[in-house]
Structure 1
Amino acid sequence: MNAILGLTVTMVMVFGGYMLAGGKLEIILHSLPFEMMMIGGAATGAFLASNDMTTIKHTGGDVMAAFRGAKWKKTDYQDLLCLMHELLNVLKQNPVDIEPHIEAPQDSEIFKKYPKILKDHDAIEMICDTIRSMIMNFDNVHQVEELLQKHLESLLEENLHGAHALSRIADALPALGIVAAVLGVIKTMASIDKPPEVLGGMIGGALVGTFLGVFLAYGVVGPFAARVKSIRTEEHFFYSMIGEVLVSNLHKNPVNICVEVARRHAPARVRPSFDEMEQAIKGLKQAA
Structure 2
Amino acid sequence: MIGIIGILVIFAMVFGGYIAAGGKLGIILKALPFEMMMIGGAAAGAFLISNDMAAIKHTLKDVGKVFKGPKWKHDDYRDLLCLLFELIRLARQNPVAIEEHVEEPENSSIFSKYPKILGDSEAISLISDTLRSASMNYDDPHQVEEILEKRMDATMHHAMHSSHALQTMADGLPALGIVAAVLGVIKTMAAIDQPPEILGKMIGGALVGTFLGVFLSYGLVGPFAGKVKAVVEEDGHFYQLIREVLVANLHNHATNICIEVGRQNTPSHCRPSFNELEEALKNVKQSAA
**TM-score using structure 1 length:** 0.98
Structure in which a larger fraction of residues adopt helix: 1
Assess if the C-alpha contact under 8 Å between 2:103 and 2:128 holds in 1.
yes
Measure how far apart 1:267 and its partner are: 1.4
Range with bigger deviation, 24-33 or 94-103: 94-103
2:63 aligned residue? 63
Cα distance, 1:138 vs structure 2? 3.6
Count how many residue pairs are aligned between Structure 1 and Structure 2: 288
User: Cα distance, 1:95 vs. partner?
Assistant: 2.0
Partner SS state of residue 194, structure 2: coil
**What is the SS of the residue equivalent to 2:269?**
helix
**Aligned-pair distance for 1:60?**
1.2
Aligned residue in 1 for 2:103: 103
Which deviates further from its counterpart, 197-206 or 154-163? 154-163
Equivalent residue number for residue 217 of structure 1: 217
Query: CA 1:139–1:73 in structure 2 vs 1: closer, same or farther (change >3 Å)?
Result: closer
Amino acid corresponding to residue 154 of structure 2 in structure 1: S
Whole-Å separation in 1 of the counterparts to 2:5 and 2:37: 26
How far the C-alpha of 1:139 sits from its partner, in A, is 4.5
In structure 2, distance between residues paired with 1:246 and 1:123 = 12
Report Cα offsets for 1:187-229 as digits up to 9, x if no partner: 1111111100000000000000000000000010001110110
Q: Which amino acid aligns with 1:185?
A: V
Report the counterpart of residue 177 of structure 2 in structure 1.
177
Q: 5+ unaligned residues in a row in structure 2: which ranges?
A: none
Aligned 8 A contact 1:137 1:144 in 2: no
Report the secondary structure of 2:249's partner residue: helix
Code of the aligned partner of 1:82: C
Residue of structure 1 equivalent to 2:194: 194
Residue of structure 1 in register with 2:28 after alignment: 28
Q: 1:210 is aligned with what amino acid?
A: T
Q: How far is 1:132 from its partner?
A: 1.6
1:142 aligns with 2:157: no
Distance 1:178 1:111, change over 3 A: same
Aligned pair in 2 of structure 1 residues 231, 139: CA closer, same or farther (>3 Å)? closer
Pairwise CA RMSD of aligned residues? 0.9
Counterpart CA distance in 2 for 1:127 and 1:56 is 29
Deviates more, 1:136-145 or 1:167-176: 136-145
Q: Determine the C-alpha separation between the residues in 1 that align with 2:238 and 2:8.
A: 31
SS in 2 for 1:96: coil
What CA distance in whole angstroms lies between the structure 1 residues aligned with 2:282 and 2:151? 32
Amino acid at match of 1:246: L
> Counterparts of 1:13-92 in structure 2 under 5 Å?
13-92=13-92
State whether residues 139 and 250 of structure 2, in contact with CA within 8 Å, keep that contact through their aligned partners in structure 1: no
Could you tell me which runs of 5 or more consecutive residues in structure 1 were left unpaired when the two chains were aligned.
none
